C-alpha cells in the first residue's frame, strides 16, 4: 500500500503537531511514522493534563503503542526548565 509522503495526518520524526500546538518533547529522530504518532498523542495528553494511564487503544499498530509508552516514560517536561 502506498502512503503519500505527507498526508497531513501523520507526524514525522522531529516535527511538532501544529494542529494541537508544539510538542513538549520533540519526536526522536529515526523512528517510524507510527511511533511518532504514538509519541505525539502521549505528549498532547501530558501537556493538557489529560488521563494517560489507560494506555493506548488495543487496535493501535505496535509501533504507535511503543511510541506512546516511550513518551510517557520520559515524564512531564517543565516549561520553566526550558526557559
pLDDT at 19: 54
Query: Which cell numbers hold the place of 66?
Result: 511503543
Query: What is the residue whose three cell numbers read 498526508?
Result: 7
Residues of the chain scoring pLDDT < 50: 1-10, 16-18, 79-83
pLDDT at 65: 93
Residues 74 and 83: their CA atoms lie apart, in Å, by 19
**Burial of residue 74, with CB atoms counted within 10 A of its CB: 0-12 exposed, 13-18 middle, 19 or more buried:** middle
Quote the distance between the C-alpha of residue 79 and its chain's center.
Answer: 18
Amino acid at each position: 500500500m502506498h502512503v503519500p509522503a505527507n498526508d497531513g495526518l501523520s507526524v514525522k520524526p522531529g516535527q511538532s503537531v501544529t494542529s494541537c500546538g508544539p510538542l513538549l518533547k520533540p519526536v526522536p529522530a529515526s523512528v517510524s511514522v507510527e511511533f511518532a504518532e504514538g509519541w505525539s498523542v502521549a505528549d498532547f495528553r501530558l501537556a493538557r493534563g489529560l488521563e494517560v494511564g489507560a494506555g493506548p487503544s488495543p487496535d493501535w499498530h505496535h509501533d504507535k503503542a511503543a511510541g506512546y509508552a516511550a513518551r510517557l516514560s520520559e515524564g512531564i517536561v517543565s516549561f520553566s526548565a526550558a526557559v
